[in-house]
């Protein structure tokens, strides 16, 4: 069966990559020159403190043993303990992840919708003013540093129109009594919407350009001429033959660009002080809380690998020409 073969191969490849990622995670944080790790934590600590820290983190053991312990811990879902608040890393990251997810989802949807609309419109009206304006705009937003877009939005939009620019909840909520579910949801959305939209704007440019390019390629294919010869009207051709074929690269692009989406999320959360995994990562960097940083890195990496895997599967499902 066509499916099984491909599935097995791809799953195998993904698992192998996961293993490489886990190992890399270990290597990066342990196999550093000297005792750079303890140096990270504090530059002015006493030798005894450093020694105690090393022992606590298990850094005094031989490397291979450390590695085994590390793998064992991972298998049990133990990502280590935060150096700052002594809680398990997972506890520190769980909440932020839940905060980031809806924001990411909205941002991705926004960027896809705008990107596809802009791309299709551009391709359809190739060479016209609409096309040029569209393409230049997309390219410009793609060139702007995401954090800068965030800053501009905060400066020119958020403050002017009274959007919240920090956190995920209004701190005054619940002071005077139990807030209703609707109020809570409303509050969440208000805090989420600007970061999500901003991230979406930062992302859409790439998609618009790819969709345009893909659509132009598709519209130049011979089967489009055949469709026209068969008597189909232009719009019908675009919808039935154009979109389906042109979207193929986009679907995989989105899955593959997940790393880029995450990168954008990190800086956007910093700009908007939105307590998601991005902000948690940056905080971990600032405080040199390296177990949390390590945990975050692992989670981010695994997510990206997962989405690459999804991309493989999607392409396989959508394009009948792809075989194992």
Site for another protein in 283-302 (CB under 8 A): 285-286, 288, 293-294, 296-297, 300-301
Q: Which of 234, 239, 317, 324 touches another protein by CB under 8 A? A: 234
Site for another protein in 113-132 (CB under 8 A): 122, 124-127, 131-132
Site for another protein in 251-290 (CB under 8 A): 258-260, 262-263, 266-267, 270-271, 281-282, 285-286, 288
Exposed, middle or buried, 298 (CB in 10 Å: 0-12/13-18/19+)?
A: buried
Question: Considering the complex, what minimum distance in angstroms separates the CB of residue 180 from another protein?
Answer: 32
Which is nearer to another protein, 103 or 238 (by Cβ)? Answer: 238
Q: Is 151 in the site for another protein (CB under 8 A)?
A: yes
Which is nearer to another protein, 18 or 184 (by Cβ)? Answer: 18
Q: Which of 97, 144, 251, 314 touches another protein by CB under 8 A? A: 144
Q: Which of 15, 36, 63, 189 touches another protein by CB under 8 A? A: 36
Q: Is 227 in the site for another protein (CB under 8 A)?
A: yes
Q: Which of 223, 239, 317, 324 touches another protein by CB under 8 A? A: 223
């Amino acid at each position: 069966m066509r499916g099984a073969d491909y599935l097995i191969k791809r799953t195998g490849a993904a698992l192998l990559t996961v293993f490489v990622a886990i190992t890399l995670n270990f290597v990066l944080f342990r196999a550093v020159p000297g005792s750079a790790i303890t140096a990270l934590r504090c530059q002015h600590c006493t030798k005894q403190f450093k020694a105690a820290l090393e022992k606590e983190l298990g850094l005094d053991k031989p490397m291979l043993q450390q590695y085994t312990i590390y793998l064992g811990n991972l298998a049990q879902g133990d990502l280590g303990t935060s150096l700052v608040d002594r809680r398990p890393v997972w506890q520190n990251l769980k909440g932020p992840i839940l905060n980031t997810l809806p924001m990411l989802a909205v941002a991705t949807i926004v960027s896809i919708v705008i990107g596809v609309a802009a791309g299709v419109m551009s391709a359809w009206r190739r060479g016209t003013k609409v096309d040029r304006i569209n393409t230049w705009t997309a390219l410009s937003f793609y060139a702007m540093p995401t954090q800068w877009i965030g800053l501009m939005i905060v400066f020119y939009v958020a403050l002017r129109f009274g959007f919240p620019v920090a956190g995920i909840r209004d701190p005054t909520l619940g002071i005077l009594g139990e807030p209703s579910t609707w109020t809570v949801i409303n509050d969440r959305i208000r805090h989420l919407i600007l970061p999500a939209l901003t991230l979406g704007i930062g992302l859409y440019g790439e998609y618009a350009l790819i969709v345009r390019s893909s659509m132009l390629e598709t519209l130049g294919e011979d089967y489009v001429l055949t469709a026209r010869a068969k008597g189909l009207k232009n719009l019908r051709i675009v919808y039935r033959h154009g979109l389906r074929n042109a979207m193929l690269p986009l679907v995989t692009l989105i899955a593959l660009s997940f790393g880029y989406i995450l990168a954008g999320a990190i800086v956007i959360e910093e700009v908007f002080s939105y307590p998601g995994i991005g902000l948690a990562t940056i905080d971990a960097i600032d405080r040199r809380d390296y177990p949390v940083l390590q945990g975050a890195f692992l989670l981010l990496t695994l997510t990206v690998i997962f989405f690459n895997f999804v991309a493989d599967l999607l392409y396989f499902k959508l394009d009948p020409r792809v075989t194992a």
